[in-house]
Amino acid sequence: MKTIWIKLVVALALIFLVVFWAIIFWPAGIEPTDSTGDLKAPPQVQQTRVESLYQTAVFHKERDNPSDMDFRITADCCRKILTDYPNSPEAEKATQVIQTHYKHPAFSTTYSTLFRFSA
């Protein structure tokens, strides 16, 4: 019975020391710093991303038997290029893809919103 009390006292002492240490050494008053850095991806990654989007759009546009989903994917890829990468060479190509293939119903709702952002 005596050893149980000794173990209990030692455990409580350890808990007290941990809490006391945490109160004393806890970093108080540390504020998050304002990050003014640019969080955009490097230009090589952006170029790879825009090329991948354009290739996906062209692939789905040029399939043998394109479905409504293929036209939708092409429209979404072109919209992403025009909104996120408006100054890239692929933006002009995406504009041409939309202008030549927008007669499909999948483009009808997308076409008006595409050029609203690409001024």
Q: What is the DSSP string of 9-66?
A: HHHHHHHHHHHHHHHHHS-TTPPPPP--S--PPPHHHHHHHHHHHHHHHHHHHT-SS-
SS3 label, residue 90: helix
pLDDT band at 118 (very low <50, low <70, confident <90, very high): very low
Q: Please list, in sequence order, all residues whose beta carbon lies within 8 angstroms of the beta carbon of residue 25, skipping any fewer than 6 positions away.
A: none
Q: For residue 67, is it within any domain?
A: yes
Q: For residue 2, is it within any domain?
A: no
User: What is the pLDDT at residue 13?
Assistant: 93
Q: For residue 54, is it within any domain?
A: yes
Task: Convert the pLDDT of each residue in 71-81 to its tens digit.
Answer: 888 888 988 99
Q: For residue 82, is it within any domain?
A: yes
Q: For residue 50, is it within any domain?
A: yes
How many domains is the chain partitioned into structurally? 1
- Mean pLDDT across the chain, nearest whole number? 77
User: What is the pLDDT at residue 119?
Assistant: 41
34 pLDDT more than 70: no
For residues 59-63, give the mean pLDDT. 82
pTM above 0.85, yes or no: no
Q: For residue 79, is it within any domain?
A: yes
Q: For residue 52, is it within any domain?
A: yes
Residue span of the structural domain in which 63 resides:
43-117
Report the percent of the chain where pLDDT is more than 90.
8
For residues 30-41, give the mean pLDDT. 64
The more confident residue out of 10 and 110 is 10
Q: For residue 96, is it within any domain?
A: yes
108 pLDDT more than 60: no
